[in-house]
């Protein structure tokens, strides 16, 4: 109420008397305030002008060495900023981590400045501006960089489950020491703080102690004040580093996770994988997988909290805040009387003086100041010196909204109204009222409101980005097939129904009798017979009623998309009648495992093939406990089961200074053992060394023109710089990962064969390239003036894919790898049981001369295809591409008495995502090699590493087989490992055969 007064308006004195005696119908509310004669822009303009003038004045008075030192300090500070930006860019952040680090440090500076001024420490802005750059250079941003690197490294190290959480003996997540939540982000931050937190806090403590010593040193000239401020800055910087900045790092990790998820899903879709399957695979690649999550615990400040407690706590917090504010608002009307009384008592005396006319006379400012100015003038004349007088801008007071009544609310009124129309001071509510008043008044500040709007916009942008990334998953929920759950009351019925179905068919009954596993009607649990021990179980898994439906009812339910409500026998009958196509069972039933089961029964009971397929329904081919959702639309159609293959591991083998066990799926005995022996010899020589010489998948379409002239013009255009640029731009626009490297063209008559060679990231990439080639050819036809071009085929066998071809051997396809190892001569003798010269001689005569005599293309090796195919089957690669991937030339030579062996494989076609790699068993083998999925930082690195591993494995296989051939151990090893025992003489004499040939042979022996 210091600036609110009841002043007379332009009415007469009589009106004032009437206002005292009568009811006040209208009162004018006057607010005395400093007139804001200058706009905000002009204020800042004047401030900048004055600051620049002060800076120039300081610059003129400063000495040259001081200016140079301060200038060097500012240059060094900006170089520190640049170094911070470069460091953050190396860790995968172009701007945000750099900007947030500077923002965190800025907040620390502001907090430190506020605390220092509140504690009464006088700060000289000149000393502050001179010393701050040196503080930045001295302290730097090493701690933020260290914490950032530790968090990102922890996230990468823990992309895969911990060994203790794998296998059948997996432990719940909450029992593990390090698994703290269902995401890797809290764990990564916690692990990074555990590793680097002590070191960071220790460095902060040492620096703060040094600054405290400077603050109490007693050195004058501003050093004490600056050290005091710097110490507080470091305190707040440490606090913000582990609160504000770690929250930013968590958001960064979440964005990285979303980017990896989207990139993997996009790569799978580019490779031809169904969208639902691609999303399913991308979801499963995230760590941890749903099966590894413990009991829904969240880690807060190192303690495991139930996930349900967090939203409950948030709801209670928000509800409490709302209740308190509603309570404060509701009690405002009850304070009107007391406030009015205080208001009248405070303004009463002044009002009486106004009414009685006892007002102080007006003050003439010129008369008031003239005596002082005259005395100053006389004093200066008498002393003979010049006096400078600063004249400040006058403070103007103006009436604001004089036409508004006291009971109305102006936009500049500081207090709200109660229900009686009286103004209420929220300060009467104590602390809560003052907080609300301060908060409401702060919102009127133009600068603060702009910052609030900026922060709100930034928050909305980040949340929109995160929600947009999850939008696809919400629109396309993953289809998870659940196991069939039986009600105990219906178990008996299911068992009887199965018995009826089996007994109704003599063939099925005989087959059950042959298995020597009779059906037991006394079972008290659902039928759950393993695939390897029993055939197909027939039960009414979905039916709710045992009554048999008519044919019309079955067809009606089928038309109404209620096929999943039918029992197995009804589905089999409809399929045999052709009502349900075999390929559509998964779509109709919405249960892939059940669809496979029904398909097996349908194939087994089809009359035209029952002679050969009748045993399939109860065969040993397994089909249960398999994730068929990943297979559907990605790997195979008309599925009837999966084919188990023996899987072994060779090794360990050292490849590029890292040890690996090599998974090999094969039915050939001795192959894994032989490869392991070669790996042992290679390890004794220090391991294998590999080099990638090329990386590019190819696709060679075939196009045709009417005349040779047009075909030649197209070839010239494709070989030109302009043509290459247009085609490259068109090709690269079709995928985020495929990038065109080169185009090689060949002309045969009017047929033109361009061979596109591209990088495809970690995918093998054939489907990805085909899409790009098709679009590039369309651009060539429509935009490059070749409308008469006819596309014969997207694949014109100029690739060449899945066929032996010299172009793959010469130009390469996929990954081109060379692997080498040096085997000491004593290892050749002790492990390989041969000699260096014998090995070299055998390689020349067999792998080089022998293959040349046979006219081989890329077959200058002993058995590279054996190892390549075994690894392909184990890791989900395309087995048909073994044809070109097995191109290999093996070379050996005597190097100082030791054996130098190398293999050159120019066309290894592999990928670590897409195709068969999305299946869990094959993905587990890629996990064992450390190359599953896309590489988090360098796309394509996982696929290249897999190619290196294959080349080194071929090297070990070649070494072992060639040594066995040189020593003559090949047949003996096969017989000893996976053949019958060597033939020995029988202890009892064999009966003499009466066959004529045997009689003649025996007579000849007797003569001799």
DSSP class per residue in 36-82: --S-HHHHHHHHHHHHHHHHHHHHHHS-HHHHHHHHHHHHHHHHHHH
d(CA 723, CA 784): 8
Residue 668 appears among annotated catalytic residues: yes
Measured CA to CA, the distance from residue 765 to residue 691 in angstroms comes to 22
Do 136 and 80 form a contact (C-beta atoms < 8 A)? yes
Q: With contact defined as beta carbons under 8 Å apart, do 738 and 747 qualify?
A: no
- Residue 1008 CA: distances (Å) to CA of 991, 992, 993: 20, 18, 19
Comparing CA positions, the residue from 71, 6, 3, 59 lying closest to residue 32 is 3
Q: Are 269 and 278 contacting, i.e. CB atoms less than 8 angstroms apart? A: yes
Q: Any idea which residue has 């050939």 for tokens?
A: 668
Looking at 28, 775, 833, 974, which residue is catalytic? 974
Q: Which of 142, 400, 534, 668 is catalytic?
A: 668
In the annotation, is 450 catalytic?
Answer: no
143 a catalytic residue: no
Token pair 């188990």 is found at: 644
Q: Which of 878, 927, 941, 969 is catalytic?
A: 878
List the one residue out of 419, 418, 423 whose CA is nearest residue 404.
Answer: 423
Take residue 805 and report the two structure tokens written for it: 């071809």
Nearest C-alpha neighbor of 204 from the set 142, 156, 151, 162: 142
**Rounded distance between C-alpha atoms, residue 931 and residue 945, angstroms:** 7
Distinct helix (H) and strand (E) counts, the chain: 37, 15
Query: Rounded to an integer, what distance in angstroms lies between the CA atom of residue 400 and that of residue 134?
Result: 50
Integer CA distances (angstroms), 892 to 509, 771, 889, 904, 997, in order = 63, 42, 10, 12, 50
Give the β-pairing of 30-31 and 4-5.
antiparallel
Residue reference for tokens 């001295």? 138
A 10 A CB-CB count for 266 gives 15
Active site residue 878: yes
Distances (CA, A) of 149 to 84, 144, 189, 253, 930: 12, 9, 11, 12, 21
- Residues near 912 by Cβ (< 8 Å), separated by ≥ 6? 762, 763, 926, 931, 932, 933, 934, 942, 943, 946
Q: Contact at 8 Å (CB) between 357 and 20?
A: no
**Distances in whole angstroms, Cα of residue 301 to Cα of each of 243, 298, 304, 910:** 11, 10, 8, 45
Q: Is 222 exposed, middle or buried (0-12, 13-18, 19+ CB in 10 A)?
A: middle
Terminal CA-to-CA distance of the chain, rounded, Å?
Answer: 142
**Beta carbons within 8 Å of 648's beta carbon, 6+ residues apart:** 663, 664, 665, 666, 672
**Rounded CA separation 1002/984 (Å):** 20
Pairing assessment for the beta strands 297-300 and 689-699 based on DSSP bridges: unpaired
CA distances from 342 to 336, 605, 700, 780 (A): 10, 99, 93, 88
H-type alpha helices, 162-222: 184-215
Number of C-beta neighbours around residue 131 at 10 A: 20
Q: What is the 3-state secondary structure (H, E, C) of 454-510?
A: HHHHHHHHHHHHHHHHHHHHHHCCCCCCCCCCCCHHHHHHHHHHHHHHHHCCHHHHH
Q: How far apart are CA 839 and CA 965, in angstroms?
A: 9
Q: Which long-range contacts (CB under 8 A, 24 or more apart) does 938-942 make?
A: 939/263, 939/737, 939/761, 939/762, 940/695, 940/759, 940/760, 940/761, 940/762, 941/762, 942/762, 942/912
Of 178, 744, 802, 833, which is the active-site residue? 802
Catalytic residue numbers read 668, 802, 878, 974
């Amino acid at each position: 109420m210091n600036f609110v007064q009841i002043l007379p308006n332009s009415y007469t004195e009589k009106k004032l008397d009437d206002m005292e005696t009568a009811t006040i119908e209208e009162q004018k509310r006057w607010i005395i305030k400093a007139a804001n004669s200058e706009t905000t822009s002009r204020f800042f303009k004047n401030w900048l002008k004055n600051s620049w003038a002060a800076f120039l004045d300081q610059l003129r008075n400063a000495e040259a060495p001081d200016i140079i030192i301060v200038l060097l300090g500012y240059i060094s500070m900006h170089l520190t900023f640049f170094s911070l930006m470069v460091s953050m860019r190396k860790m995968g952040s172009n701007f945000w981590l750099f900007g947030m680090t500077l923002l965190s440090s800025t907040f620390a500076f502001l907090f430190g400045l506020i605390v220092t001024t509140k504690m009464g420490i006088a700060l000289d802005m000149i000393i502050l501006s001179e010393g701050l750059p040196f503080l930045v250079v001295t302290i730097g941003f090493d701690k933020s960089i260290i914490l950032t690197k530790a968090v990102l490294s922890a996230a990468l190290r823990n992309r895969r489950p911990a060994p203790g959480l794998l296998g059948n003996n997996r432990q719940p997540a909450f029992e593990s020491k390090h698994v703290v939540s269902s995401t890797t982000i809290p764990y990564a931050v916690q692990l990074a703080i555990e590793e680097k937190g002590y070191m960071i806090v220790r460095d902060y403590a040492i620096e703060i102690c040094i600054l405290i010593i400077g603050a109490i040193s007693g050195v004058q000239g501003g050093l004490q004040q600056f050290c005091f401020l710097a110490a507080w800055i470091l305190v707040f910087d440490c606090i913000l580093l582990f609160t504000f900045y770690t929250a930013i790092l968590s958001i960064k990790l979440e964005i990285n996770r979303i980017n990896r998820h989207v990139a993997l899903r996009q790569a799978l879709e580019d490779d031809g994988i169904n969208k639902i399957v691609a999303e399913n695979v991308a979801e499963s690649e995230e760590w941890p997988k749903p099966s590894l999550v413990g009991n829904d615990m969240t880690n807060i400040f190192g303690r495991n909290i139930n996930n349900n407690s967090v939203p409950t706590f948030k709801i209670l917090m928000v509800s409490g805040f709302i209740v308190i504010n509603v309570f404060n608002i509701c009690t405002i009307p009850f304070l009107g009387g007391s406030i009015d009384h205080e208001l009248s008592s405070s303004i009463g005396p002044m009002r009486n003086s106004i009414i009685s006319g006892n007002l102080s006379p007006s003050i003439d400012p010129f008369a008031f100041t003239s005596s002082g100015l005259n005395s100053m003038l006389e004093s200066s004349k008498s002393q003979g010196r010049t006096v400078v007088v600063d004249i400040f801008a006058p403070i103007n007071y103006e009436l604001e909204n004089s036409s508004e009544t006291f009971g109305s609310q102006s936009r500049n009124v500081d207090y709200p109204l109660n229900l009686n129309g009286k103004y209420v001071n929220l300060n009467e509510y104590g602390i809560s009222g003052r907080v609300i008043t301060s908060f409401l008044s702060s919102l009127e500040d133009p600068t603060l409101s702009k910052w609030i709007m900026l922060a709100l916009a930034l928050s909305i942008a980040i949340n929109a980005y995160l929600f947009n990334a999850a939008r696809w998953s919400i629109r396309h929920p993953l289809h998870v097939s659940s196991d069939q759950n039986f009600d105990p009351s219906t178990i008996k019925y299911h068992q009887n129904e199965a018995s009826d179905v089996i007994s109704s068919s003599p063939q099925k009954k005989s087959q059950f009798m042959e298995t020597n596993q009779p059906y037991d009607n006394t079972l008290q649990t659902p039928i759950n017979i393993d695939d390897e021990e029993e055939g197909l179980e027939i039960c009414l898994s979905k039916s709710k009623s045992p009554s048999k439906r008519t044919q019309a009812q079955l067809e009606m339910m089928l038309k109404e998309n209620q096929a999943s409500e039918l029992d197995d026998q009804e589905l089999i009958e409809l399929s045999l009648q052709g009502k349900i196509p075999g390929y559509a069972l998964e779509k109709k039933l919405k249960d892939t495992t059940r669809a496979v089961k029904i398909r097996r029964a349908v194939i087994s009971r089809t009359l035209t093939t029952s002679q050969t397929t009748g045993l399939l329904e109860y065969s040993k081919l397994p089909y249960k406990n398999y994730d068929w959702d990943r297979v559907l639309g990605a790997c195979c159609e008309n599925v009837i089961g999966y084919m188990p293959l023996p899987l072994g591991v060779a090794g360990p083998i050292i490849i590029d200074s890292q040890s690996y066990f090599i998974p090999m799926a094969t039915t050939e005995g001795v192959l894994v053992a032989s490869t392991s022996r070669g790996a042992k010899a290679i390890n004794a020589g220090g391991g294998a060394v590999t080099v990638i010489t090329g990386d590019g998948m190819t696709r060679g379409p075939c196009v045709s023109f009417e005349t040779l002239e047009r075909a030649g013009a197209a070839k010239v255009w494709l070989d030109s710089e302009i043509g290459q640029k247009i085609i490259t731009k068109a090709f690269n626009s079709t995928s985020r990962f495929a990038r065109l490297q080169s185009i090689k063209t060949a002309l045969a008559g009017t047929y033109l064969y361009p061979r596109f060679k591209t990088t495809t990231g970690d995918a093998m990439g054939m489907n990805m390239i085909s899409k790009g080639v098709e679009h590039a050819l369309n651009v060539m036809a429509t935009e490059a003036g070749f409308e008469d071009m006819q596309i014969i085929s997207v694949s014109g066998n100029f690739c060449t894919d899945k066929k032996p071809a010299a172009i793959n051997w010469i130009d390469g396809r996929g990954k081109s790898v060379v692997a080498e190892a040096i085997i000491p001569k004593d290892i050749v003798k002790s492990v390989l049981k041969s000699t260096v010269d014998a090995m070299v001689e055998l390689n020349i005569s067999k792998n080089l001369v022998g293959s040349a005599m046979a006219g081989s293309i890329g077959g200058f090796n002993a058995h590279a295809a054996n190892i390549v195919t075994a690894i392909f089957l184990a890791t989900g690669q395309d087995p048909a591409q073994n044809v070109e991937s097995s191109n290999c030339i093996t070379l050996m030579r005597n190097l100082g008495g030791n054996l130098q062996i190398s293999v050159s494989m120019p066309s290894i076609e592999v990928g670590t995502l897409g195709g068969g790699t999305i299946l869990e068993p094959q993905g587990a083998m890629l996990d064992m090699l450390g190359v599953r999925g896309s590489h988090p930082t360098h796309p394509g690195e996982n696929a290249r590493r897999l190619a290196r591993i294959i080349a080194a494995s071929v090297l070990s296989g070649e070494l072992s087989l060639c040594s066995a051939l040189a020593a003559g151990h090949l047949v003996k090893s096969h017989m000893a490992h996976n053949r019958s025992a060597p033939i020995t003489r029988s202890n009892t004499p064999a009966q003499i055969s009466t066959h004529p040939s045997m009689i003649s042979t025996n007579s000849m022996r007797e003569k001799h």
